[in-house]
Amino acid sequence: MPAPPTLIPRSILFGNPEQAAPRLSPDGARIGWLAPDEGVLNVWVQDSPNAPARVVTHDRETGVRSYFFAEDDEHLLYLQDKDGDEDWHLWAVGFSDGDIRDLTPHEGVRVGDLFTDPKRPNEILVGMNRRDPQVFDLHRLNLATGEEKLEAENRGDYVGWLIDHSFRVRGATAACADGGFELLVSRKPGGDFESFLRWGPEDNGSAIGFAPGQESLYIEDSLHSDTTELYEIGLDGAGRRVLARRDGVDVGSLIVHPTTHRVQAAGFALHRLEWEVLDSSIEPDLRALGDVAPGEIVPVSRDRADRRWLVSFSSDLDPGVYWSYDREGQGATHLFDTRPELKDYTLAPMQPAAIRASDGLDLPAYLTLPPSGEQKGLPLVLNVHGGPWARDEWGYDPEAQWLANRGYAVLQVNFRGSTGFGKKFLNAGNREWGARMQEDLTDAVRWAVSQGYADSRRAAIYGGSYGGYAALAGAAFTPDLFCCAVDIVGPSSIGTLIESIPPYWEPLKHVFRVRVGDIETEREFLEARSPLFHVDKMEVPLLIAQGANDPRVKQAESEQIVEALRARGKEVEYLLFEDEGHGFSRPENRMAFYAAAERFLAKHLGGRVEEPSEEEARLLGKLRR
């Protein structure tokens, strides 16, 4: 039997990347990226090709995760919250003086939508819930002076704004009482908002933006088909023209010109990403890039003149390598690999699979097996995605690589209610938390066993957010199927989850009522689907991890089920991260959690273990409750 692969250190899988997320300044002169500074991710900038790189942000806590260059070519903008509370503030860094300013210095206020425009380089449109915590008004900020002026007031149900190419507010998307959405548009600048499109709760729909010329809109929706389609439609409602559509999969990523705003390509990823080119001018570029490096091609940044692109290449065996591409000469220059140390280790391929649910629904799934050694009768980790209105995708997944490297079969399944596979698949999950959505996961485990991949006596369920709920539900509703469960920031009671959502989610409560249940009239129904009310059935050991500042799934969601389990003498390990929110941003916290999860899974499934470092052990001693 072949020997198992060398253990990949957790620090390489889950520590900070060496470099990541490159961006070009609009004038193409500067390039930025994320990289550690004193162990914390910050933004580094190179002012010209031969200039030394310099760090321009100085976060010392959670790290910077989202940034972009301002259109004035003199500032870098980034978002930051406090210890995971998701009250995002917009910060600006001046390149000439290094001055760092909080552009939205309002306590308890969250930044929402952000818009910039090359024709107004000193202005930014920013959504903020300053007037009312539940809704986001739109404000116009002057980047040079910091002056803030109300641009458009939210009438109470707007969940997004539509901006035209002259940097004017021309519409909004409103949440409707039936769980659907309505697009309101001003058909001429300065005109009143009028109803333009209406999507019921069964449909997916959104406005992409104005097409060139501003006489029509790009829309993506499923009004005329099961899967979403991209089309252009006149502001008078006429001349609807379908640009891209595929059976079986919704429209995904788009490639959009940086100044004309023309949609140039639409991505579709039933499993692997495929581009459908809509603008023939970029066809030679995508063809040339296909010869540069293996992997899925994604342009991640372009300069204003559209002469230079930064492009990502990634696959299931590579988290990402970035190249700079010159369109005129069609030449490419390697920038960096995100995690170059991974090249020293053997990674595991991710295999697409189709699993037939017990009621006949086909579930797109992904199976990752240890790259060497025994590949039959393995201990299994069912890794459930969050959302639940999201999806698993083919590609590099650090958790899949970690678990496969430790000797587990890893199964990720797009259960009904997942997005990306059409509205029938999405709506099949309505009111099915803890029921058919959970049964899909059960069916997936049974499939892995029937195919010989998994040992029926050694299966774990693992996940974060909705995946954490599913882990608790698996332990409660199918106690004989799993031998342990790992819940990361998962709700234990659907009722208390809905009652404690952040105020800025209030307009979206209608969606919860349609897709999950009505807390006002169906409390009994929701309690029947909530693991908290079924702790007596839980017999398997649990590991529960929670961020104290989580605004989405409050600390009480974990505390109440831990208390109920311990009151009944059940086995549960509880980790509380005082300086985290909905997940683990700080690298030291990530490392501690994965060290604990690795030991937990090995204890109950029999996989391999990298011993915790002294720092991980010390931190875990503080985290355990």
Contact 396, 316 (CB under 8 A): yes
69: left (phi over 0), alpha (psi -120 to 50) or beta: beta
Cα atoms in the 13 Å half-sphere on the side-chain side of 199:
25
Name residues whose C-beta falls within 8 Å of residue 538's C-beta, 6 or more positions apart in sequence.
475, 476, 479, 531, 565, 570
Contact 417, 428 (CB under 8 A): yes
Rounded to 5°, angle at Cα 598 from 596 and 601: 110
Omega before 388 within 30 of 0, i.e. cis: yes
- 3-state DSSP helix/strand/coil % of the chain, to nearest 5: 20, 35, 45
Q: How far apart are CA 604 and CA 593, in angstroms?
A: 17
Which residues are identified as catalytic?
Answer: 465, 550, 582
Look up residue 131 and give its amino acid.
R
End-to-end CA distance of the chain: 42
Q: How far apart are CA 143 and CA 156, in angstroms?
A: 28
Name residues whose C-beta falls within 8 Å of residue 515's C-beta, 6 or more positions apart in sequence.
179, 201, 389, 417, 429, 430, 431
Cα–Cα distances (Å) from 609 to 199, 280, 456, 461, 594, in that order, read 50, 52, 22, 18, 11
Q: How far apart are CA 316 and CA 578, in angstroms?
A: 33
- What does the longest C-alpha to C-alpha distance in the chain come to? 73
Residue 177 backbone phi and psi in degrees, to 5? -65, -20
Q: How far apart are CA 266 and CA 425, in angstroms?
A: 21
